[in-house]
Amino acid sequence: MAKLNPEVLEWAVRRSDLPQEQVLKAFPKFPQWLDGSWKPTARQLRDFAIKTHVSVSDLFSASIPDYSLQIADFRTRDDLPALDPSPELFDSVEAMLSRQEWMREFFIHEGYPRVGFVGSRKGQPLTDATATALAQGMHALLRLDDDWARACPTVPDALRVLKDAIERAGISVVINGVVGDNTHRKLEVSEFRGFTLADEYAPLVFVNGRDAKNAQLFTLIHELCHLAFSQTGVSNAPEDEDGDIEMERFCNAVAAEFLVPSNVLLPWWSSHPMAPYKKVQTISRSCKASFVVVARKAHDEGLLGQNEFFATLKKHQEETAAVATPGKGGGNYYLNERYKLGLVFSDAVIAAVHSGYLTYRDAYDLTGMSAPSFQKYLEEVA
């Protein structure tokens, strides 16, 4: 008869990052589970597995189960091993991989064309010229001119415009700050900003919705860059750092050039006589890019000297509360849900249900909705 493995029980608690007091409050006899003097009931084991985000069968494993990251980790360099993912990141990647697999099968079945952008830059050198060319190519692909963000009243408006443009190009975009709809399982920005799942039929970009809105804009383009090289993996390269990983640094350069094109920045900078700090602030508001991205771009273009650059950043840090707060919910729940699920995926599910390719039960599982919620969703957005 299978026995509980105390090492696995302790590992599950560590992995879930649950405080010891919380574990003992929920399972007072947990120490006795570990020493074998008390056997938990089936229900207790199920509750423990749910709380620690593992399967019940894992608790009986002879060794620690493998919950390493399912995709490449762009957060590490050289041949270092991938960082252990939190249960929230692991489960988010798992859900998106399942979603992508379904979309790929459906799109092939329906005769959808390949998304030509995926892998379009594969094998090209990571040079400044390539970064500029890729940023320009993205503007053309998305049908957004160099100064597109100026017409957007706010950063959230710009984010929606960019997201919609990417999805019109056949690339699924998911922006979420929690695992599925579980508001108790938040995605930590300190762990990751986004990830990319490359596929020629069903490419997918996931952005951490807990991040600041202008950071989400940056991450979207950063992840698109990975798609151009047909790369699947998790990123956490902040827009305010160059980083020490070549590909991440390159993707940051592409994102900066897309959001603050040199051919927009240079003439504007020279034609507006104002203090450097004010210039950076004004361009940031116009391009909807973060202050730090604009300042770094100005520095890289030789518009801000080294000392001036650091002085500008210091003043910015002193004048702003550098706390990223996620956007608050509001409006129509079902339209918000469509936005969160992504237009490519949402429209595919609706089409598949109506054609009979996908059963309602499978649609509930794919979207994470209950039967009544999905029925209402169809009425609201179809």
* Beta-bridge mates of residue 197: 204
Cα distance between residue 34 and residue 39, in whole Å? 9
Higher confidence at residue 66 or residue 2? Answer: 66
Query: Of 210, 201, 204, 212, which Cα lies nearest the Cα of 239?
Result: 212
Q: Residue 334's pLDDT band (boundaries 50, 70, 90)?
A: confident
* pLDDT value at 84 more than 50: yes
**Rounded to two decimals, what is the model's pTM?**
0.89
3-state DSSP assignment of residue 242? coil
Cα distance between residue 340 and residue 377, in whole Å? 13
Higher confidence at residue 84 or residue 362? Answer: 362
* pLDDT value at 322 more than 50: no
Radius of gyration of the chain (CA): 23
Q: Are 135 and 261 in contact (CB under 8 A)?
A: yes
Q: Are 47 and 36 in contact (CB under 8 A)?
A: no
Angle, to 10 degrees, between the axis of helix 291-300 and the axis of helix 262-271? 90
* pLDDT value at 276 more than 50: yes
pLDDT given for residue 244 in this prediction? 57
- Residue that is written with structure tokens 């951490």 in the block: 208
In order of 91, 311, 366, the CA distances from 97 in angstroms are: 10, 44, 11
Q: How confident is the prediction for the chain on average, in pLDDT?
A: 90
pLDDT given for residue 338 in this prediction? 85
* pLDDT value at 154 more than 90: yes
Counted residue by residue, the chain has a size of 382
Angle, to 10 degrees, between the axis of helix 262-271 and the axis of helix 276-287? 140
